[in-house]
Amino acid sequence: MSEGVYGRVLVVEDEPTDAVVLDHLLTDLGAEPGSLIHTTTLAEAMSALAGAPTLAVVDLFLPDSAGVETVRRIRAGAPDLPLVVISAAAETETAVLSLQQGADDYLLKGDFDARALDRAVRHAVERRRLWTEARRKTLELERAERRLRAVIEANTDGMIIVDATGRIRFSNESARGLLSPEGRVLDGLHLGVPLAEGDDAVEVEGPEVEGRRPRLELRARRVDWDGAPAHLLVLRDVTTQRLLEERVRQAQKMEALGKLTGGIAHDFNNVLAVILNATEALRELVPQELNDARTELREIDASARRAAGMIRRLLGFSRRGYLRFETVDMRDFTQEAVGLMGRMVGDRIRIVAEIDDGAAEIRADPAALQQIVLNVAANARDAMPDGGTLTVRAGRVELEETHRARFPWVSPGVYERVSLTDTGTGMSDDVLERIFEPFFTTKGPDAGTGLGMAMVYGLMKQHRGLVHVHSQVGHGTTVDLFFPSANEARRPGRTPPVVASPSVEATGTETLLVIEDEPALRRAMERILTAAGYRVVLAADGREGLDRFRALTPEADLVLSDLVMPQLGGREVVAGLREAGSSVPVLLVTGYGAAYMDEIDDDGVTMITKPWSRESLLQAVRDALRRRDARDVSATPR
Amino acid sequence: MGDPAARFRLYLAGPGPRSDAVVRAVSAAGDKCYGSDAWTLDVVDVRATPEAARAAGVLLTPMLHRLTPEPGLRWLGDLSDAETLARILADARV
């Protein structure tokens, strides 16, 4: 059925005569009589809106509504409906109010004809169409803005618009979090104009949050903002990334230094072994009455031994020192260490110990552990020349993923922590960065060797632990030492027995094969061992050593071999001997220590560290032969 | 001699090589732009005096603030390039 030129027309008129007039006018203009919907109250009109009329012709005064309220209610129910008011109210004010409340045109009863009504209806339809179109566009724009805002607000990068004077005009949530964690309004604040634009980032620091200033990457782009030139600043928090990069860089530096110092220490040990043994040999040759000469020899001997001590500390740093791991109770250890510290730091420094009941066991070398803690305590003492407090805390901590914010390089797990906090002078960032470097010291040439913290670093690594130093100039220093708990610590590799301090003269008549690439050391060993009664066969490297061994009849009683040699090393010599079916005991001579021994799992292998003395060498040889004899006896059936 | 023509304040986060480089660059740029007797520069370490930074509404460092002549201007970013700085300070005089 056709709906006529106006479609479905809602006529809201309580005066029957007026309603009839309207009916006639509308049908004369082309409206379909069947499409006219008559209502006499506002309530009926509101119900009729459900029928989706295309035009409303409305009287203002109804039995249940009066004046512009009628317009307001119908408009609220049908925002897109063209609405013409036909009223007896002649006041301009009423007409204006009606238009403001949503009427599209206003006609005065008795003052219009069909033509005027047609014009008013067409005007209302067009006006409403334009209004509806504008509203649709506005809603679309609002939706688009909400989408864009959601993207910008959800961006983890901080985004800020600053105008040409550097004042903030817009900031997203991440920017507010970075620049104003306390929730201050950023808009209007004078941030500044970026010096450069483009893809290259510059690094800046943000405001302090919980004692930390975030490191931020800043990128700037020129943009138009409200028709004026402005800058979009993008801020990214790179604090954790920088910490990790710094840590990796530091680790690489320390690794390189470790290799360097380890290598130097190895060669130096060879030289020292020659000096010590030549000195010892000379002492026997120089007559007692040559006092001056004997004094000089003692000086040489003492100096060489001091140098050997330094080498031991260097080996500690380079993680090649020899450690004996055992289970250590951290409560007992810390209590003992606090006692030792008390004697070391003096009366002007008060020591406070806080040891958790939870503190438990670790796998550690007790002597090395003591060295670590006492070195840190010595630094604390030196940082408090006018006295102060040294607080020692021990307890179990579980480093979880969340701790990576502070220690991003740490594997999560259970650790026993020992913390030493002093109230001393503290350190600058520059000093902190170099604190573990060998020979770096702030104490002056006479006060420190610069090896203490280097050794702490190396020993902590050997314990598979980690050390973290936090310091601020004028506010003291805290050194946190984290050791993996005993049940989490991987057991170190088998450590070959090491000869104890020499006690008695150890001589013999057995045949010894000496494999040593350093000629001076080879000669010294030959001289000492021959003088002690042994039959000595020499070889300059591992390959020659194996050849000599095969040529010997009967078999040598003991093979002494340097561990690190250019040709076959000590490890390969042991393997060659075993492949040849020999169970001859081997005494490995090493300038490194246990780290190189992890892969040697052989009961017939013992070890002596360089620089050895005549006594310690003879003792080691004797002990190795004794072990062989004991093994042979236990293997003999009774 | 009257007051200097221009007063600047430089906000930095702590001492160190980066801060030293920034101070050197800003000093050189200021001397080049104004002449060494015609401007002054204060340096504020926001770590040492955070309250000064808060009072001045300093959010990012390093930041250079021209206090006088008016209007006050602020610059952010890599302040260690003296030439770029001198050019920007000169442009801001116009």
Could you report the per-residue pLDDT of A84-96, keeping only the tens digit for each? 999 998 889 999 9
pLDDT over 50 (residue A495)? no
Query: Is 80 exceeded by the pLDDT of residue A487?
Result: no
The separation between the first and the last C-alpha atoms of chain A, rounded to the nearest angstrom, is: 124
Which residues share a beta bridge with B12? B45
Q: In whole angstroms, give the CA distance from residue A332 to residue A347.
A: 23
| A147-161, A286-300, A484-498, B44-58: segment of lowest average pLDDT | A484-498
pTM (2 decimals)?
A: 0.57
pLDDT at site A404 = 60
Q: Which two tokens stand for residue A602?
A: 């052989």
Choose from A74-83, A204-213, B8-17 the range with maximum mean pLDDT.
A74-83
The CB density around residue B38, as the number of other CB atoms within 10 Å, is: 14
SS3 label, residue A62: strand
Are the Cβ atoms of A207 and B59 closer than 8 angstroms? Answer: yes
Of B47, B53, B77, the CB nearest to A202: B77
* Per-residue pLDDT, A490: 45
Q: Is A180 on the interface with B (CB under 8 A)?
A: yes
Distance in angstroms (rounded) separating the CA atoms of residues A45 and A83: 12
Q: Give the pLDDT band (50/70/90) at residue A217.
A: very high
Calpha distance A596→A439 (Å, rounded): 25
Interface touch A165/B73, C-beta < 8 Å: yes
Do residue B60 and residue A180 have CB atoms under 8 angstroms apart?
no
pLDDT at B1: 41
Q: What is the pLDDT of residue A637?
A: 41
What is the rounded average pLDDT of the residues A421-447? Answer: 79
pLDDT of A436 > 50? The answer is yes
Q: How confident is the model at residue A636 (pLDDT cuts 50, 70, 90)?
A: very low
Using a CB–CB cutoff of 8 Å, tell me whether A202 touches chain B: yes
Give pLDDT, residue A402.
60
pLDDT band, very low/low/confident/very high, at A211 (cuts 50, 70, 90): confident
Mean pLDDT of chain A: 85
Structure tokens at A84: 């013409």
- B68-94 as b/e: b if 16+ CB within 10 A: eeeeebbbbbbbbbbebbbebbeeeee
Beta carbons of A214 and A240 less than 8 angstroms apart = no
What's the rounded Cα separation, in Å, for the pair A208 and A231? 24
- Per-residue pLDDT, averaged over A345-367, amounts to 84
pLDDT digits (tens, 9 = 90+) for A396-428: 888 776 666 556 556 778 889 999 999 999 998
Contacts for A337 with CB less than 8 Å, ≥ 6 apart:
A370, A373, A374, A377, A392
Least reliable range by pLDDT among A351-360, A478-487, A532-541: A351-360
DSSP calls for A579-607: HTT----EEEEESS-GGGTTT---TTEEE
CA separation for the pair B74, A164 (Å, rounded): 10
Nearest chain B residue to A179, by CA = B59
Distances (CA, A) of B27 to A617, B37, B74: 67, 12, 16
Structure confidence at residue A502 as a pLDDT band (50, 70, 90): very low
The H or E element that residue A10 is part of is strand A9-12
Does residue A358 or residue A552 have the better pLDDT?
Answer: A552
Residue A585 has pLDDT above 60, yes or no: yes
Taking 80 as the threshold, does the pLDDT of residue A383 lie above it? Answer: yes
Least Cα separation, residue B7 to chain A (angstroms): 16
pLDDT digits (tens, 9 = 90+) for A139-180: 999 999 999 999 999 999 999 999 999 999 999 999 999 998
| Best of B60, B61, B63 to mutate (most A CBs within 10 Å, chain A) | B60
Measured CA to CA, the distance from residue A425 to residue A388 in angstroms comes to 10
pLDDT tens-digit readout, A253-312: 777 777 777 777 777 888 888 888 888 888 888 888 888 898 999 999 888 888 887 777
Query: Which of A196, A204, A428 is facing B60, going by the closest CB pair?
Result: A204
pLDDT at A492: 44
**How high is the pLDDT of residue A151?**
93
Whether A165 and chain B come into contact, CB under 8 Å, resolves to: yes
Structure tokens at A293: 């000469």
Q: Count helices and strands (H / E) in chain B.
A: 3, 4
- With CA atoms as reference, report the closest residue to A345 among A376, A373, A369, A378: A378
Cβ separation B76–A165 shorter than 8 A = no
Cis peptide before A53 (omega within 30 of 0): no
* A195·B60 Cβ contact <8 A: no
Rg, chain B, Cα only? 13
Across the beta sheet with A605-609, the strand order is A535-539, A511-515, A558-562, A586-590, A605-609
Predicted confidence (pLDDT) at residue A250 exceeds the cutoff of 50: yes
Residue A228 CA, distance from chain mean position: 42
Q: CB neighbours (10 Å) of residue A380?
A: 28
Read off the pLDDT of residues A597-617 as tens digits, 9 standing for 90 and up.
Answer: 555 667 788 888 888 888 888
For residues A216 and A235, the answer to whether their CB atoms sit within 8 Å is yes
């700037």: which residue's tokens? A220
Q: Which pLDDT does position A539 carry in this prediction?
A: 93
Substitution target from A205, A209, A475 for chain B, most B beta carbons within 10 A? A205
Rounded CA gap, A487 and A448, in Å?
37
B77/A195 Cβ within 8 A = yes
- Stretch A315-344: mean pLDDT, rounded? 79
Interface of B to A at Cβ within 8 Å reads 13-17, 47, 50, 53, 57-65, 71-79, 81, 84-85, 88
Position of tokens 């078999």? Answer: A555
